[in-house]
Amino acid sequence: MLNKVYDWIDERLDITPLWRDVADHEVPEHVNPAHHFSAFVYCFGGLTFFVVVIQVLSGMFLSMYYVPDIERAWESVYYLQNQVAFGQIVRGMHHWGASIVIVMMFLHTLRVFFQGAYKKPRELNWIVGVLIFFVMLALGLTGYLLPWDMKALNATKVTLDIAQSTPLIGDMLKTLLSGDEHIVGAETLTRFFAIHVFFLPAALLGLIGLHFLMIRKQGISGPL
Ligand code: HEM
């Protein structure tokens, strides 16, 4: 039955070469931890991606309950945490995942750096990596405000002050992030929310797509 469905689709869209391209691709021996244990360092990028997927999925579920409004944000998180079935575990995954993903990305960057994998011909992918790095840090900063508790408010005050200290465009940047009044208020929350759930994830997924396309095109570096 499944075979027939597959054949029906394949006849029309010629999908076999698509998955064959991935399935027949041989993983080089020097990146396979089954051959040399030290090759586990090549897994850091994939593990980072795994946590990114967890963050996206858990974030989608959180957004079903979260209310980006200064009167109700804290309460909506409290409700999610204490009343909603599996709410605590989903929030916990997103909370811990946010830190783990930064650690994993950092380990991956160290691997790429110390093996010199950023050198020709992979300079462009290193640059894409640096952009990803900033997007990930910005995701952490914007997400931190959303629970709207004292820790979030105080941390975001510091974030805005740091943004303001940028030479030349500091004031503009602070207005862009926090609104005209330059305080952590209603406008800041809706902006951080939009940036955290729409702008940055879209940018991140696009950049990761580019990252993977280049890896596929160039192959993995090494052996050393
Ligand atoms: C969400 C963050 C990231 C994800 C999911 C990711 C994913 C990956 C994956 C799966 C690979 C294949 C090899 C490996 O796993 O080591 C890779 C390679 C690479 N990554 Fe990343 N990466 C991320 C961030 C970064 C950052 C921040 C940089 C550098 C600033 C970077 C630079 C590179 C380079 C240059 C390669 C090619 C390495 C080689 O051919 O040996 N990546 N990345």
- pLDDT tens digits along 76-103: 999 999 999 999 999 999 999 999 999 9
Cα 21 from Cα 15, distance rounded (Å): 10
* Distance from the alpha carbon of residue 101 to the mean position of ligand 1, in angstroms: 13
157 vs 181, higher pLDDT: 157
Cα 153 from Cα 145, distance rounded (Å): 6
* Distance from the alpha carbon of residue 55 to the mean position of ligand 1, in angstroms: 18
Query: Is the distance from the beta carbon of residue 219 to the nearest atom of ligand 1 less than 6 Å?
Result: no
Query: Is the distance from the beta carbon of residue 46 to the nearest atom of ligand 1 less than 6 Å?
Result: yes
Q: What is each CA distance from 86 to 54, 99, 198, 209, in whole angstroms?
A: 15, 21, 24, 31
What CATH number does the domain located at 30-218 have?
1.20.810.10
pLDDT tens column, 115-145: 999 999 999 999 999 999 999 999 999 999 9
- pLDDT at residue 60 in the model: 98
* Distance from the alpha carbon of residue 162 to the mean position of ligand 1, in angstroms: 28
Which residue ranges make up each domain of the chain?
A: 30-218
Query: Is the distance from the beta carbon of residue 49 to the nearest atom of ligand 1 less than 6 Å?
Result: yes
pTM over 0.85: yes
Query: Looking at ligand 1, which residue's alpha carbon is closest to its atom 9?
Result: 45
pLDDT tens column, 141-156: 999 999 999 999 999 9
Query: Is the distance from the beta carbon of residue 106 to the nearest atom of ligand 1 less than 6 Å?
Result: no
* CB within 8 Å of 59: residues ≥ 6 apart: 94, 197, 201
43, pLDDT greater than 90: yes
Query: Is the distance from the beta carbon of residue 135 to the nearest atom of ligand 1 less than 6 Å?
Result: no
pLDDT tens column, 182-223: 999 999 999 999 999 999 999 999 999 999 999 999 999 999
**Cis peptide before 223, with omega less than 30 degrees from 0?**
yes
Mean pLDDT estimate for the chain:
97
224, pLDDT greater than 90: no
